[in-house]
Amino acid sequence: MTETFETATFAGGCFWCMVKPFDTLPGIKQVVSGYTGGTVENPTYEQVKSGTTGHMEAVQIRFEPDIFPYEKLLELYWTQIDPTDDGGQFFDRGPNYRTAIFYHSELQRVAAEQSKRELAASGRFLKPIVTRILPAAPFYPAEEEHQKFYQKHPERYKAERIESGRDDFIRKTWGQN
| Cα separations in angstroms, 31 against 39, 113, 118, 143, 172 | 23, 23, 26, 14, 26
CB 139 within 8 A of CB 35: yes
Q: Measured between alpha carbons, how far is residue 115 from residues 33, 52, 79, 143 in Å? A: 23, 30, 12, 32
Cβ atoms of 64 and 3 within 8 Å: the answer is yes
Question: If DSSP codes are grouped into helix, strand and coil, which group holds residue 99?
Answer: strand
> Catalytic annotation on 17?
no
CA dist., res. 66 & res. 113, Å (int): 21
User: Considering 11, 14, 59, 111, which one is annotated as catalytic?
Assistant: 14
Residues 102, 136 contacting (CB under 8 angstroms): yes
Q: Which residues are known to be catalytic?
A: 14
